[in-house]
Amino acid sequence: MKIAIINGPNLNLIGVREPEIYGNRSLVEYLNELVGEYPDVEFSLFQSNHEGAIIDELQRIGFSYDGIVLNAGAYTHYSIAIADCIRAITAPVVETHISDVQARETFRHVSMIKDACATMVAGFGLDSYRLAVDWLIEYANEQ
Ligand code: DQA
């Protein structure tokens, strides 16, 4: 089984950026540990601060992977292009957020990608990624 974890803008700064919201732990370190816990899953990890690069990566893996964990960062709230891309590919996508976006500023309550995604996980800190991976494994087993 193949799962891609795709992170958008500023997620390379998790561990440093607004620790009161996102915590002190580096996301790269967390994800490297996480992938080691699933020996039967082949993971691909990708991060970019650029909308087009995220779309290129979604298109690259979106027809051959079994699932995608996507934290599109702020693009979540306004990228119709990423939403269109999620609709275009065949792999199920889990909209994933570290923080509880619904409990934050109102502009974060809007998700342009929500309806294009299979489900959404938010507010569990870095463990949102683990829950998203578990959801995709269960989903694949049900197919
Ligand atoms: C985020 C929430 C977004 O609103 C924000 O722009 C981010 C991170 C999260 O993981 O909680 O960059 O996606």
* Ligand 1 midpoint to CA 2 (Å): 25
22: number of Cβ within 10 Å:
19
Contact 79, 17 (CB under 8 A): no
Atom of ligand 1 nearest to the CA of 108: 4
**Which parts of 26-124 are beta strand (E)?**
42-47, 67-71, 93-97, 119-122
97 is catalytic: yes
Residue 40, φ and ψ in degrees, nearest 5 = -90, -5
Q: Which helix (H) or strand (E) holds 53?
A: helix 51-61
pLDDT in tens, 35-80: 999 999 999 999 999 999 999 999 999 999 999 999 999 999 999 9
CA pair distance 130, 137, nearest whole angstrom:
11
Atom number in ligand 1 closest to CA 74? 6
What is the spatial distance between Cα 96 and Cα 68, in angstroms, rounded to a whole number?
10
Instruction: Report the nearest-CA residue for atom 9 of ligand 1.
Output: 97
Distance 75 CA to ligand 1 centre (A): 9
pLDDT score at 98: 98
User: Is 108 close to ligand 1, i.e. is its CB under 6 Å away?
Assistant: yes
The pLDDT tens digits of the residues spanning 86-130 come to 999 999 999 999 999 999 999 999 999 999 999 999 999 999 999
